[in-house]
Structure 1
């Protein structure tokens, strides 16, 4: 069975292959219908490692009613089935998302991904510009320099040399920041996610080298920063299609769509307006 892959070639280039078997079951989804009818613009939300589709409830409730909104549970998460044959690397997860969107007959979509879901969204956008109109990456780990890449590798190694679940939950606790709104539900979901799903997904994100994808993407892209120390200026130099939004200091937690949804919704509204999908 062919699996999805992402590999770096000699000379620093990279290649991506996204493919899934035809028997992949559909992903669990929550849909908010649009008032604009069958030709409404479509926005699809992808959560991060150990998370679930209900974490985008504030976006489904608060974004423009002319949009068709769809929030997915990623494979092995929430109510979605596991991947056939297992294997939860970010490229395989992205392939499952792409396959699901094609089966639903969707196209010209805007993908919004949080954390690891943002990397999956970027993979789909870079490899299937015919399917994706724009992509939004919300506070994902974006290692653009060698020291950042080395730090991620060290985090991965450290977690493997300890109690992985405890290490992961400690990292998520630190990433949350301050404030209690939504925290209990998010952490219940993190605890519930099977380790054989969360661990390889998280490790693959830490090992990921995203610069090539950012350079390759041919659709408008927005990066929203809240907790991560992503170098926004450096990111914008990679591709003229990249724009950024910084929610600091108003929102400094890693789940801004949960912790400060109004700020995220405003950034999404501005991006979607710029794409011409809704009015100002």
Structure 2
């Protein structure tokens, strides 16, 4: 394992690389309000891959964006492209969840030379509406992330998981996200519509939904899969918005099957 920093125009981006140096590389992109530990339970279940993870601006150990208005899905995809060019040899499999899935769609459409396979998990070409994101931004700016945390947990996790002590870990991760970083990502989501981009994705793509996802319901995830030529679509039963946490073994099984299909 190595922890590194990649210099970006907005500051230092925290990255982490695990696994064999000669294995095929998989890059993971996290959801809103989480850091690269989102994937911790999945990684031991992957087979012989080199794993690269990163924290978005204002999340985890990355710097806050110098200009929050500069954060967009396109800019976040540029960060991912710079990461791949800096630490990866050749194109990668890109796995993104929620806003990470939008980053992956943008990246695969704009830089197909860097992506040989794409996994879009619990994501869509458009998530929510500008009005819904602006309402959330106003709540966070007025009263902090704590004020929305319980509602977010209901969207993120199925009732069975919310009844476990482990919920507190992920709630803490959310509320400890810097307010400026969270709001900047919300603005990016409010402005994002990748409908036109999805049709330009020409790499093998697996799309995954959670049956009980309250943030990216299966119907909008399925509609996104239908826009990507040749994409497969899987619904994971009994889980919400964060299946790598709720069902890491089942999520890893899907990833391993996809990796076997696109392995060089």
Q: Identify the match of residue 82 of structure 1 among 41, 54, 64.
A: 64
Instruction: Give the aligned partner of residue 176 of structure 2.
Output: 192
Counterpart contact for 1:141–1:206, Cα < 8 Å: no
The answer for unaligned runs of 5 or more in structure 2 is 1-6
Which of 86-95 and 252-261 deviates more? 86-95
Shift in Å, 1:168: 4.1
* Structure 2 residue 129 is the aligned partner of structure 1 residue 152: yes
Shift in Å, 1:240: 2.3
Instruction: Give the aligned partner of residue 12 of structure 1.
Output: none
Distance in 2, matches of 1:182 and 1:94, equals: 31
Counterpart contact for 1:93–1:120, Cα < 8 Å: yes
Counterpart contact for 2:26–2:95, Cα < 8 Å: yes
Distance in 2, matches of 1:242 and 1:264, equals: 17
What is the TM-score with the length of structure 1 in the denominator?
0.78
Aligned residue pairs: how many? 246
Shift in Å, 1:269: 1.0
Over 3 Å counting, the alpha-carbon distance change for 1:272 and 1:170 in structure 2 is same
Over 3 Å counting, the alpha-carbon distance change for 1:204 and 1:26 in structure 2 is closer
What is the TM-score with the length of structure 2 in the denominator?
0.83
After superposition, residues 113-262 of structure 1 pair within 5 angstroms as: 113-143=96-126, 152-164=129-141, 165=145, 168-175=148-155, 176-178=157-159, 179=161, 180=164, 182-226=166-210, 227=213, 228-231=216-219, 233-248=222-237, 251-262=238-249
Counterpart contact for 1:52–1:78, Cα < 8 Å: yes
Query: Per residue, is there more helix in 1 or in 2?
Result: 2
Counterpart contact for 2:25–2:88, Cα < 8 Å: no
CA RMSD of aligned residues (A): 2.5
Counterpart contact for 2:92–2:115, Cα < 8 Å: yes
Distance in 2, matches of 1:272 and 1:47, equals: 19
Q: Is the partner of 1:58 in helix, strand or coil? A: coil
Distance in 2, matches of 1:181 and 1:259, equals: 13
Over 3 Å counting, the alpha-carbon distance change for 1:82 and 1:158 in structure 2 is closer
Distance in 2, matches of 1:26 and 1:221, equals: 30
* Structure 2 residue 83 is the aligned partner of structure 1 residue 100: yes
Shift in Å, 1:221: 1.3
Instruction: Give the aligned partner of residue 45 of structure 1.
Output: 28
Q: Is the partner of 1:79 in helix, strand or coil? A: coil
Shift in Å, 1:242: 1.3
Q: What whole-Å deviation, never above 9, does each CA across 1:21-49 have from its counterpart, x for those lacking one?
A: 96565532332222xx53x2100111011
The answer for unaligned runs of 5 or more in structure 1 is 1-20, 144-148
